[in-house]
Amino acid sequence: MGSLVETAIERSINAVINRDYGAAQEVLAAEARINSIELEIDALAIELLALHQPMASNLRFIIAALKINTDLERMGDLAANIAHSARALGETPAMEPIVDIPLLAGLAQSMVRKSLDAFVAADVDLALSVLASDDAVDSLRTACYHQLVTFMRKDSQNINSGLNLLAVTRTIERLADHSTNIAEDVLFFVKGVDVRHQLGAPSLLIT
Amino acid sequence: MGSLVETAIERSINAVINRDYGAAQEVLAAEARINSIELEIDALAIELLALHQPMASNLRFIIAALKINTDLERMGDLAANIAHSARALGETPAMEPIVDIPLLAGLAQSMVRKSLDAFVAADVDLALSVLASDDAVDSLRTACYHQLVTFMRKDSQNINSGLNLLAVTRTIERLADHSTNIAEDVLFFVKGVDVRHQLGAPSLLIT
């Protein structure tokens, strides 16, 4: 499922940057498969809980898998949203500034890959490196926002494509947020600590 | 937690519609409490799984609670996003059209309330009524989008507040999406069927 979602994200970004209509179509065609795998994984996880009553790190692994499954399905939806924006952008002449979108997308894609690799390898340091990238994504996205608002203010003819590009940057940021969720679930599964919201010391759930 | 999130949503919408800066502040102040309850509920659910190895509908109830917990925390974040938009809107003169936003917000708030009531009462019909509202939200949001783009095209001075109002309508739609997730989790918990993605007949997970 992770690999399907990674491919969908990569294609959707290429569809925007290279105005590749075919890539956008492929992303939309792959969505149903991602959705059906989500249901399979949920059913398997619940079956494992019901039949084997796992304890400690096995239980945490299954809870993490359930949560990561939800995140991955949403990420598939978000890739489809980017593909829709790419198609809308393809209908107007290519005069809009792509600005820092390739940079922002590259960073988010790296976070997605690292968070999935961290889950597969139970790699705490890799998961922590994903959390550390979050601020860079926010700054890049803010920079894109200001560049695109300036572009829209210049000529009202730019408003439609400006809105589509803003939607793309916002969606890329949400992809990065989901990879942060995955990294937090990896830390919970491997270390048994909940690092979300960082309320002082991490709470110890299961020791 | 549901009640805190409902209050946060109501206040954030009021902050936009009535330009109520105080309401926006209250939403932002409540976010930390919602976040900490999310951690408590997750820890309790995992403790129940570990200590009591629940089966069948008890197991489904806990899985549903874990998922609804995640949705509610995100809904608290979204209410905070609306509060931020309300503050940004408060910095410009009130000349932008609020258009169908109160209608859209009212519909989404009703979906949120029904989905939470459906969970508490294990009420299948109420959960189904939430799913049935989704199309109306999409149509209203599309209508708002076109009204706001027209407003932005009219004068480039309108672009900033237009973007803030677009963000509000998009966030309200996401709140409605989360209430749909909750309604689907209620159906899974009560009936043992997974209605997500509606791939033909619902798959029977646990009988």
A39 — contact with chain B (CB < 8 Å)?
Answer: yes
**Nearest-angstrom CA–CA distance, B107 and B125:** 18
Indicate if ipTM > 0.90. no
B205 — contact with chain A (CB < 8 Å)?
Answer: yes
Lookup result for tokens 């599309």: B142
Render pLDDT for A11-35 as a digit per residue (tens, 0 to 9). Answer: 999 999 998 889 999 999 999 999 9
Q: Write the DSSP symbol of residue B20.
A: -
Render pLDDT for B55-82 as a digit per residue (tens, 0 to 9). Answer: 888 999 999 999 999 999 999 999 999 9
- pLDDT at B204 (0 to 100): 36
The two structure tokens encoding residue B4: 């805190």
Say if residues A162 and A96 touch (Cβ distance below 8 Å).
Answer: yes
- pLDDT at B207 (0 to 100): 32
Residue A83 has pLDDT above 70, yes or no: yes
User: Min CA distance, B88 vs chain A (Å)?
Assistant: 15
> Which residues of chain A does B43 touch, with a Cβ-Cβ cutoff of 8 Å?
194, 203, 205
DSSP-derived secondary structure for chain A: -HHHHHHHHHHHHHHHHTT-HHHHHHHHHHHHHHHHHHHHHHHHHHHHHHHH---HHHHHHHHHHHHHHHHHHHHHHHHHHHHHHHHHHHTS-S-S--TTHHHHHHHHHHHHHHHHHHHHHT-HHHHHHHHHTHHHHHHHHHHHHHHHHHHHHH-GGGHHHHHHHHHHHHHHHHHHHHHHHHHHHHHHHHH-EE-GGG-SSPEE---
Residue B200 has pLDDT above 60, yes or no: no
In Å, what is the CA distance from A145 to each residue of A111, B46, B90, B174? 21, 40, 20, 21
Put simply, the answer to whether A50 touches B56 (Cβ < 8 Å) is: yes
Render pLDDT for B39-56 as a digit per residue (tens, 0 to 9). Answer: 999 999 999 999 988 888
Q: How many CB atoms lie within 10 A of CB A90?
A: 15
- pLDDT at A206 (0 to 100): 35
Q: Spell out the residues 6+ positions from residue A43 whose beta carbon is closer than 8 angstroms to its own.
A: B194, B203, B205
Interface test with B, best of A34, A51, A60, A63 (most B CBs within 10 A): A63
Render pLDDT for A55-71 as a digit per residue (tens, 0 to 9). Answer: 888 999 999 999 999 99
Say if residues A169 and A148 touch (Cβ distance below 8 Å).
Answer: yes
Render pLDDT for A140-187 as a digit per residue (tens, 0 to 9). Answer: 999 999 999 999 999 999 999 999 999 999 999 999 999 999 999 999
A193 strand-pairing partners: A204
The two structure tokens encoding residue A167: 């939607």
CA A76 to chain centre: 8
Half-sphere exposure of B123 (CA within 13 A, CB side): 13
- pLDDT at A205 (0 to 100): 36
Of B53, B154, B160, the CB nearest to A53: B53
Residue A149 backbone class (left: φ over 0; alpha: ψ -120 to 50; beta: rest): alpha
The two structure tokens encoding residue A186: 């990896």
Q: Could you tell me which CATH number the domain at A2-204 has? A: 1.20.58.220
